[in-house]
Structure 1
Amino acid sequence: MSRRSGGAIGTWAEAQRRQQREHEARARAAQRAQREQERRQRAYERDLARRHREQQAAYRRGREADARARTEEIEARVAELSGLLVAGCRGQVFRTGSLTRAEYIEPFAPGPLEHPVPMPDPALYRSQGGWTARARERADREAAQRYEYDLAVARAAEADRQARLAEYRRQYDAWAGGLRAEIQQHNAGVARLVEGLRARDPESVVEYFSAALYASTEWPQGLPRRLSAAFDRTAAQLVLAWELPGFAVVPGSRSVRYVAASDELKEVARPLARRRELYRDVLAQCLLLVLRDLFAADESGVLGSVVVSGFVDGVDPATGRRADVVVGTVTVAREDFTGLTLEQVSAVECLEGIRGRLSARPDTGAAVRPDRLPQDIGADVVSHGDGDEPDLLEMDPIAFEHLVAELFRARGMRAVTTQRSNDGGVDVEAFDPDPISGGRIIVQAKRYRHTVPPTAVRDLYGTVQDTGANKGVLVTTSGFGPGSYTFANGKPLTLVSGAELVELLAAHGLRGRLGPGGGTGGGARRAPGPGELTPEDLAPPPADGDGDFHVLGMVWAGAVGLDVCALVCRQGRVLSESHFVFFNNERTPDGSVRAVPPTAGDRAAVRVAFDALPTAADRLVLVAAVDPATHPGADLAGFTGAGIVLRDADGAELDRLVVSDGRPGETALVLGSFRRRPGGNWEFVIGGKGYTGGLEALVGEYGIEVE
């Protein structure tokens, strides 16, 4: 007979078995969790390795794409050089007719002054009567008095309108007469040039054909365009020396490849023999294209033959000094050249076929004997583009126009010289390819020693309207007076003074100075440090009065949030970083400019004591930029109806200055600048230049380095 255990021993045994089962279950769960963790860790490591491989592959693809892009740039440059002659033959032919200006004068448009002031209607001044005869009499008398007063005011306003209309008409007639006379004078000068060409006047011939060469837009960027020329009237022969590009014009690399082992882009060298072959072909194309441009422009049949000697910047082996080394020369008659189909020829073979000579090793400076040089003629030789640092005041007019065109091309535009200098017409036509702010630009280049008269600015505005251009630019070697800036304010006109021109040239790698020892501008684009300006320059002028100031209030439509800043500058460069007033620097060291809370409906405000600005300062520039913290991703498309409200110390409005609206894609804008004029007065000049890189890109042009 069996017997069950009971009591405390049985209970204890059952508890032990239960604990054992729970322990085993926990152990099995821990093992499962460990195996799951190990599985997840292995999966994570596999995913990490996969992502690392993908990142490495993406990085490699990016580097390989960079290598392909650089290879494509090299191939595009070689294709451009190889197709130089074909592209040049497709270019527009230069003609004397392009020099003539249409005798169009903008019609007289007085605007609101054209409409007479309406006189008050007596019928509207009838009294409403009254309860008594005396009241009616008083009402009639008051109505008559109101009518007489309003009639007197209207007559005075009409007399003032007629006086202003007559004065405006007088000014228009003077302007139109001056412009008409200038156009007629210019066209008469063109007629004299044409007559000079027909008479084979050497000076006219050289001037015209030099302009024809500089008018061509098909020369690739980086090719020199320096020449000297003379005309042999007896032989009807133009003798020209033309600068050719150096060996470096042909890329030394054939391609670029990515080397993964060293993580570098390595250039694959172009075979030297192939590079030399291509260089000789480029030189031959240049010589043939010069001949093509000259004969194509000769609509009067002036040229019986042309001699072109192509030279490069080299070293005279006899003296070891720099010298012009002739590496190609050709003499060809008109009838022998005009029968060629240049688009289909091999340049080197064609040049040799017309008895031209090309150095076998131009890359080493091996020279050939020129057939004839301009100085062999015995007459005056005209040179363009010569000199290490050309004096803009003494530069030949055609060369000056060419330099201005080069400046526009350096700024990413297409530009061509169209007319001779000093004619008041279109000297350079430029096209800005920017789809938003770009368009056709009419440029006048004037080599003046004295202040440009306001009539020149009015003439440019008339030309812009006549031609339907988007903008007009007047470039001069001198400066402009208040009248010119006042007329240009609010119009699609830009005035570039001599000092500003020199700075622009230097900033884009071009050369020019104003007079002997004149400044060249440029240099590193940074803010001048305190050591570059004397303490006297940075100090305010002597105190004179109680320190009056003005408040410049900023207003605009739209909800976009903007930071309005001010820069105290000298010739387009901020005096120092502490003279840049913005949200992190609310005042200049002398306190002449400071940011203040806006009032009276303004959305931003700057307080300026113009009389206390540093003596070195010649302008105060106001700029605005989108606040990326409050409006990330916003642009200036909603910046409209903008203006600067000029207020006195009590907040009363003195004047309201209109500024340009913002444009889509731009995040910073130059509102305008107050410029110090002779006598100490300050005049506002509207801005309008926009930037897609925000405040950092804008202030960088004024010398502020943003880290």
Structure 2
Amino acid sequence: MSRRSSGLVGVWAEAQRQQQRQREAQQRAVVQQQRQQRAYERDLARMQREQQAAYRQGREADARLRTEELEGQVAALGGLLGAGCRAAPFRVAALTRPEQVAPFEPGQLAHPVPMPDPAHYRAEGGWTAGRRAQAQQEAQARYQHDWQAAQAAEAHRVRQLAAYRAQYDAWASGQLAEVRAHNAGLAQLVDALRAGEPGAAVDYFSAALYASGAWPEGFPRQVAAAFDRGARQLVLDWELPPIDVVPEVKSVRYVASSDQEKETARPVTQRRALYRDALAQCVLLVLRDLFAADEFGMLDSVVVNGFVDDVDPATGRRAEIFLAAVSVPRAAFEPLNLGQVSAVDCLVEALRGQLSARPDQRAAVRPGRRPADVGTGVVSHGGGGEPDLFTMDPIEFEGLVAELFRARGMQALTTQRSNDGGVDVEALDPDPISGGRIIVQVKRYRNTVPPTAVRDLYGTVQGAGANKGVLVTTSGFGPGSYGFAEGKPLTLVSGAELVDLLHQHGLRGRLGEGAPAGSGAAGAAAVPAPRAAPDDVEDFNLLGMVWAGAVALDVCALVCRGSRVLSEEQFVFFNNPANPGSSVRMVPGVGGDRAAVRVVFDALPDGADRLVLVAAVDPEVSPGGDLAGFTSAAICLRDAAGAELDRLPVADGRPGETALVLGSFRRRSGGDWDFVPGGKGYRGGLGELVGEYGVVVA
């Protein structure tokens, strides 16, 4: 029979057992921790190997992509002539404009104002005959009041509709006259071409060259031409692309040991051969486009002298260095199958032309007949001094904007001409904090860019997942555009700002004929010192008012500095329909507008920094009325033709108030205008409202 030990020996033995168990538990914990550590290290090593493999694969893919891009550039150069030959020939008919204009769309003005229904004006309440009679009289009075207001509103609508129709008829007549004048000018051009007039021939065939979509991005388009009427020969100097169109790098591969990309240089002989072939293709494509466009049989032969604008190695100065020259009779050109020829052999052997043996070293050839030798007027397009951004070829203009981004330290490429998703240039800013992908749209406009274009750009930026959007134009932006862009990742670059940026980075560009460099004379956002006569300008805005309800309103405008009107003559309303100089004028509404103000923002008086629009109940049409029914109101910002550019919301009216500040246009520091919504109401009518702006109403 066993018994449990007691006493000191038993206590000591139990303590030893407890210590043993603790040591075993600690040992098991150490072993478990070591196992977990080894498992963690194995997982970490596997992750690092996987990350290193993924990193290596990514770098290798980038290197392959760069190689594919280089091969694509070379392939595009090799297929230049074939792509050009597949294009449709240039024809005068492509320039003809249809004799049609947008139909008359009066909008809300087409719908008569609904008249009140007597059934909705029933007497309510009354236990006695007297009270019922009183209620009936009150209902009848409400009906008469609303009926008279509706009748007045309908008469106002009819007058506005007639005025809008007259304005539309005048506009439509002007549009048709412009289209007919354009088409008549084309008919005169055709007659001149058939008569063999040299000036018409040069203009027509230059247009044919510029209309070709076969020229890759970055290729120059500078031409000087003359037409020999007696010999029926067109003579032209055509600028050729520089050697840079052929990539110096042949391929790229990733070297894992040094974690760097290694470029393999393209052999000099290969680059020279590719460049010579590209130059020969350019000359043949010029010949093809000219003979194909000759729908009137004007050309018996064409002389093409191809040059590059580069540094002459003999003088060290920039000059026109001729690298190719050929004189081709039509009879010798027509039998050629350009889709199958070797460009160099065709130019040199079949057509007996000249082609530099070492164009990469600017080894020149002697040009043939020059345009100046013809004896008639020489017409030049492209090149020379500051290019006019308004008349620049659209593709060239987009390339210039891309070059500007590259000059600012970014990567930038123009997109394809179709299916570009509203993107003209894509840029990548390498800055790790503020950089990222940038979507650029280019608008070569003369009039103000509508806010819809800014909204479209924002949608494109969101859809593409880009960091920022930039809208570049040769004109400017209105208040609605700047208001929409505020607080969003959008940058608006006006024409004046564009010219300044170009010159800051050594690029060329001007706005309009005779505009000094950097002046931004056309489409500038800055306020000009001399004021144009508003009646003579074409770039003005219409501020139209729309609202729901039958209440009749007087819409007025105040030209202010801060919160004070410049003078009482700058308070434009029904008894003073225009301010001095007529930069602000009351006009009939268009397109459904119930009232409108014509504004030439650039012609507002010096010192004016605010244009305030207000409205007040017309006491003659709506006696005793208030702004309770003034809802769904907006200011329609329209261009000079009446097309809606933006719709600026306005606060609803409130019961008891008879006048309201609709909003104000405020000048930005750069000269453009922002719209700031109003909403402050007044119970004392127009007099109380304008009194706060310093106008004393007797």
| One-letter amino acid of the structure 2 residue matched with residue 366 of structure 1 | A
- C-alpha contact (below 8 Å) 2:398/2:414 kept by paired residues: no
In 2, Cα distance between the equivalents of 1:133 and 1:17? 115
Structure scoring higher RCO (CA < 8 A, sep ≥ 6) equals 2
- Residue 309 (structure 2) pairs with residue 302 (structure 1): no
1:655 maps to 662
1:281 is the counterpart of 2:277 = yes
1:75 to 56, 71, 74: 71
Residue in 2 that maps onto 1:627: none
Name the SS of the counterpart of 1:306 in structure 2: strand
1:511 aligns with 508
Measured in 1, the distance between the counterparts of 2:48 and 2:492 equals 56
SS of the equivalent of 1:171 reads: helix
Higher mean displacement: 294-303 or 404-413: 404-413
Q: Secondary structure at the match of 1:308?
A: strand
Q: Which amino acid aligns with 1:518?
A: A
CA distance in 2, matches of 1:277, 1:308: 21
Q: Is the 8 A contact 2:444 2:474 kept in 1?
A: no
Q: Distance in 2 between matches of 1:192 and 1:289?
A: 28
Residues 446-477 of structure 1: CA deviation (Å, up to 9, x unaligned):
5xxxxx6x9x99xx9xxxxxxxxxxxxx9996
Determine if the alignment matches structure 1 residue 90 to structure 2 residue 86: yes
Whether the 8 Å CA contact 1:325–1:365 is kept in 2: the answer is yes
Q: Is the 8 A contact 2:60 2:254 kept in 1?
A: yes
Pick closer, same or farther for the CA change 1:377–1:44 going to 2, 3 Å: same
Aligned to 1:389: 386
Q: Partner of 1:309: helix, strand, or coil?
A: strand
Aligned 1:294-333 pairs, distance under 5 A: 294-333=290-329
Q: Trace 1:469-480 onto structure 2 (pairs within 5 A).
A: none
Task: Name the counterpart of 2:421.
Answer: 433
Instruction: Measure how far apart 1:516 and its partner are.
Output: 5.3
For residues 401-424 of structure 1, the C-alpha deviation after alignment (integer angstroms, 9 at most, x for no partner) is: 665565688884555xxxxxxxxx
Q: Report whether the alignment pairs 1:196 with 2:192.
A: yes
Corresponding residue for residue 225 of structure 1: 221
Equivalent residue letter for 1:248? D
Measure the CA separation in 2 of the matches of 1:135 and 1:17: 112
With over 3 angstroms needed to count, the CA separation of the structure-2 counterparts of 1:362 and 1:146, relative to structure 1, is same
Give, in angstroms, the shift of residue 216 of structure 1: 1.6
Q: Secondary structure at the match of 1:105?
A: coil
SS at match of 1:336: helix
Scaled by the length of structure 1, what TM-score is found? 0.60
Query: 2:258 aligns to what SS in structure 1?
Result: coil
For residue 268 of structure 1, the aligned residue among 240, 258, 264 is 264
Change (3 A) 1:34 1:157: closer
* 2:355 paired residue among 330, 354, 358: 358
Residue correspondence of structure 1 range 441-590 to structure 2 within 5 A: 498-499=495-496, 502=499, 511-514=508-511, 515=514, 517-519=516-518
Measure how far apart 1:7 and its partner are: 14
Q: Deviations over 1:590-630 (max 9, x none)?
A: xxxxxxxxxxxxxxxxxxxxxxxxx99999xxxxxxxxxxx
Aligned to 1:601: none
Residue 365 of structure 1 deviates from its aligned partner by 0.5
CA contact (8 A) 1:127 1:140 kept: yes
Answer yes or no: is the 8 Å Cα contact 1:618–1:676 preserved in 2.
no
Deviation at 1:100, TM superposition (A): 0.7
TM-superposed deviation, 1:386: 1.1
Matched, 1:378 2:395: no
CA distance in 1 between counterparts of 2:442 and 2:268 reads: 45
Cα offset for 1:301? 1.5
SS at match of 1:239: strand
| 1:156-195 aligned within 5 A | 156-195=152-191
CA positional deviation for 1:275: 1.1
CA contact (8 A) 2:510 2:518 kept: yes
Q: Report the CA distance shift for 1:245/1:7 in structure 2 as closer, same or farther (over 3 A).
A: closer
- CA positional deviation for 1:207: 1.1
How many Å apart are 1:511 and its aligned residue? 2.9
Judging changes above 3 Å, is the alpha-carbon distance between structure 1 residues 180 and 642 closer, same or farther for their aligned structure 2 residues? closer
Contact kept? 1:475, 1:497, Cα under 8 Å:
yes
> What is the TM-score of this pair, normalised by structure 2?
0.61
- Structure 1 residue 654: Cα displacement: 3.4
The partner residue of 2:96 within 84, 97, 100 is: 100
On the 8 A contact 1:647/1:654 being kept in 2, the answer is no
Shift of 1:193: 1.3
Separation in 1 of the partners of 2:498 and 2:123?
69
1:61 aligns with 2:68: no
Whole-angstrom distance in 1 between the partners of 2:17 and 2:509: 98
Partner SS state of residue 238, structure 1: strand
CA offset digits 1:299-354 (Å, max 9, x no partner) = 11222111111111233355332111100111112232222222221111111211
Distance, in Å, in 2 between the alignment partners of 1:644 and 1:681 is: 20
User: CA offsets per residue over residues 156-189 of structure 1, 9 Å max, x none?
Assistant: 2222111111111111111111111111111111
Q: Is the 8 Å Cα contact of residues 305 and 326 (structure 2) preserved in structure 1?
A: yes
Q: Is the 8 A contact 1:675 1:685 kept in 2?
A: no
Supply the distance in 1 between the matched residues of 2:14 and 2:124 (Cα, whole angstroms). Answer: 115
1:252 maps to amino acid: E
Cα 1:44–1:392 change in 2 (3 A) is closer
User: What's the CA shift for 1:685?
Assistant: 11
Residue 341 of structure 1, aligned match among 312, 316, 337: 337
Map residues 208-247 of structure 1 onto 2, 5 A cutoff.
208-247=204-243
The residue aligned with 2:464 is: none
Aligned counterparts of 2:383 and 2:248: Cα–Cα separation in 1: 28
Question: 1:307 touches 1:331 (CA, 8 Å); kept in 2?
Answer: yes
3-state SS of the aligned residue for 2:339? helix
1:86 aligns to what SS in structure 2? helix
Q: Match of 2:536?
A: none
- Cα offset for 1:32? 5.8
- SS in structure 2 of the partner of residue 301 of structure 1: coil
Structure 2 distance, partners of 1:102, 1:375, is: 39
> Structure 1: any 5+ residue segments left out of the alignment?
1-5, 416-429, 447-451, 461-473, 487-493, 522-542, 549-614, 620-640, 658-672, 687-707
Query: What one-letter code is carried by the residue in structure 2 that aligns with 1:198?
Result: R
The answer (yes or no) to whether the contact 1:327–1:362 under 8 Å persists in 2 is yes
- Specify whether residues 54 and 676 from structure 1 end up closer, same or farther in structure 2 by C-alpha distance, changes over 3 A only: closer
Q: Quick one: percent identity of the two aligned structures?
A: 56
Contact preservation (8 Å) 1:229, 1:374: yes
* 1:230/1:485 CA distance change after superposition, 3 Å: farther
Cα distance per residue 1:533-563 (max 9 Å; x no partner): xxxxxxxxxx977799xxxxxxxxxxxxxxx
Structure 1 residues 71, 499: closer, same or farther in 2, change over 3 A?
A: same
C-alpha deviations, 1:12-55, integer Å up to 9, x for none?
77887777777777666666655555555444444433333333
- What is the Cα deviation at residue 93 of structure 1? 2.5
Whole-angstrom CA distance in 2 between matches of 1:508 and 1:618: 35
- Give the C-alpha shift of residue 656 in structure 1: 7.3
TM superposition shift of 1:89: 1.6
Call closer, same or farther: CA 1:685–1:305 in 2, change over 3 Å: farther
**Cα offset, 1:484, TM superposition:** 13
Q: Is the 8 A contact 1:644 1:656 kept in 2?
A: no
Cα distance in structure 1, aligned partners of 2:676 and 2:195: 49
Q: Which amino acid aligns with 2:185?
A: G
Contact kept? 2:480, 2:675, Cα under 8 Å: no
> Equivalences for 1:28-47 in 2 at 5 Å?
37-47=33-43
Q: In structure 2, the residue corresponding to 1:342 is in which secondary structure?
A: coil
CA distance in 2, matches of 1:386, 1:204: 21
The reply on whether 1:113 has 2:109 as its aligned counterpart is: yes
